[in-house]
């Protein structure tokens, strides 16, 4: 990483942290999205010639971790990825990613159904999987069934008939999995910080909870899970910048999902269950983590893909291949 990269990411972090902290899980699209658009988050991955920020996937990781840390309820990441995939094409409005689709591309039109689309009701276009790649679909005339996911965020169903469509490079499932893994890393880090602060202040039998060995063990395990999710997300971003991230995407989404499950349980255990209430930030962090864990493929899906890749290459090559990927 160059000094310029570090300076750019510090600037991004300062800007995003301040804005996201003031909105967080209470964000409302109609009220808060104009500010996100004004700050240019959708153009984070576009070059300056394309009217964007000229950022990298490592820059997106900075924003994604902060979005997760604040349980931000806005499609900042989905729109940044979708905008990159349609760069140079004439699509308008907010873009997002469809984790699931059932339809058919015929020439330059697409008919079918898009399911569980994040903020689909607000989207001008959606990136969906298509045989041999992906397709950008104009959803301005979609019939929309509004739904809410486990995270409490919009996850809508869109029905389309002969909608304008253009093939694009990049898979929405893998890219969606990548941003969810990054968000989980941020949310778990914040849940750890909240938990550590709570057990330091809360007292039982005349001493802080943090002095009890069982609580210390829970925090240590939670810190380990948080570090694992962070490392996986960091390596994933580096691999995306190299445009060779199929292995890292599968590994990061699998590891982040495992960390989300263990971390959420431990966070609520050390809180003695008070963290379940909606008024407390931990509720929104763990609710998001557990929802993101399943979106764009869960551990079973990605671990199977990872296993098939390793078997196809030959198990005796695993270590040398891992070394080669982490030290290209």
pLDDT tens for each residue of 215-224:
999 999 999 9
Same domain, 159 and 247: no
Q: What value, to the nearest 5°, has the Cα angle with vertex 58 and ends 138 and 228?
A: 110
> Using an 8 Å Cβ cutoff, are 296 and 78 in contact?
no
**DSSP secondary structure letter of residue 90:** -
pLDDT of the residue at 301: 97
Q: Is the dihedral of CA 213, 217, 220, 226 positive or negative?
A: negative
Name the residue with tokens 């431990």: 266
Instruction: Give the closest residue to 154 by CA, choosing from 94, 109, 64, 104.
Output: 94
Same domain, 151 and 32: yes
Residue where one domain finishes, among candidates 168, 201, 227: 168
Same domain, 241 and 147: no
123-130/94-97 β-pairing: parallel
Same domain, 12 and 153: yes
Same domain, 129 and 86: yes
**DSSP secondary structure letter of residue 51:** T
**271 CB burial (10 A radius; 0-12, 13-18, 19+):** buried
- What is the helix (H) or strand (E) element at residue 112, kind and residue range? strand 109-118
Same domain, 49 and 142: yes
No. of H helices and E strands in the chain?
10, 9
Same domain, 144 and 15: yes
**DSSP secondary structure letter of residue 150:** T
Q: What is the pTM of this model?
A: 0.95
pLDDT of the residue at 328: 61
Domain that holds residue 212: 172-326
**Domain total for the chain?**
2
- What is the helix (H) or strand (E) element at residue 100, kind and residue range? strand 100-106
Q: Per the structure block, which two tokens stand in for 118?
A: 């994040």
Residue where one domain finishes, among candidates 120, 144, 168: 168
Same domain, 125 and 59: yes
Instruction: Find the distance separating the first CA and the last CA of the chain, reported in whole Å.
Output: 14
pLDDT tens for each residue of 36-85:
999 999 999 999 998 888 899 999 999 999 999 999 999 999 999 999 99
Same domain, 69 and 23: yes
Domain CATH for 212: 1.20.140.10
Same domain, 208 and 288: yes
Residue where one domain finishes, among candidates 168, 193, 225: 168
For the chain, residues with pLDDT lower than 50 are none
Tell me the backbone φ, ψ of residue 208, rounded to 5 degrees.
Answer: -60, 145
Question: Distance between alpha carbon 240 and the CA centroid of its chain, in Å?
Answer: 14
| CA 257/CA 231 separation, integer angstroms | 14
Using N-to-C axis directions, what is the helix angle for 246-270 and 281-294, rounded to 10°?
150
Same domain, 236 and 269: yes
| CA 191/CA 317 separation, integer angstroms | 37
Instruction: Give the closest residue to 173 by CA, choosing from 257, 69, 250, 87.
Output: 250
Same domain, 182 and 255: yes
């Amino acid at each position: 990483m160059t000094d310029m990269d570090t300076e750019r990411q510090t600037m991004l972090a300062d800007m995003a942290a301040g804005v996201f902290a003031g909105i967080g899980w209470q964000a409302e699209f109609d009220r808060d999205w104009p500010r996100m658009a004004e700050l240019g988050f959708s153009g984070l991955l576009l070059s300056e010639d394309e009217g964007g920020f000229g950022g990298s996937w490592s820059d997106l990781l900075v924003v994604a971790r902060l979005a997760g840390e604040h349980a931000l309820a806005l499609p900042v990441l989905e729109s940044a990825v979708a905008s990159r995939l349609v760069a140079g094409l004439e699509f308008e409005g907010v873009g997002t990613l469809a984790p699931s689709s059932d339809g058919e591309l015929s020439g330059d039109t697409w008919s079918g159904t898009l399911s569980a689309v994040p903020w689909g009701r607000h989207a001008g276009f959606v990136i969906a999987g298509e045989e041999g790649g992906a397709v950008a679909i104009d959803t301005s005339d979609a019939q929309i069934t509004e739904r809410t996911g486990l995270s409490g965020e919009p996850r809508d169903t869109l029905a389309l008939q002969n909608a304008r469509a253009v093939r694009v490079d990049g898979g929405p499932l893998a890219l969606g999995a990548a941003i969810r893994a990054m968000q989980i890393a941020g949310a778990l880090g914040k849940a750890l910080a909240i938990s550590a602060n709570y057990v330091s202040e809360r007292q039982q039998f005349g001493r802080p909870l943090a002095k009890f060995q069982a609580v210390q063990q829970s925090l240590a395990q939670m810190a380990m899970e948080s570090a694992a999710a962070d490392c996986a997300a960091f390596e994933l971003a580096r691999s995306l910048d190299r445009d060779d991230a199929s292995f890292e995407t599968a590994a990061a989404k699998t590891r982040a999902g495992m960390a989300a499950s263990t971390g959420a349980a431990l966070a609520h255990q050390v809180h003695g269950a008070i963290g379940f209430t909606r008024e407390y930030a931990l509720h929104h962090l763990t609710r998001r983590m557990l929802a993101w864990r399943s979106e764009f493929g869960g551990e079973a899906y990605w671990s199977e893909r990872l296993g098939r890749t390793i078997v196809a290459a030959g198990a005796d090559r695993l270590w040398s291949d891992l070394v080669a990927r982490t030290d290209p």
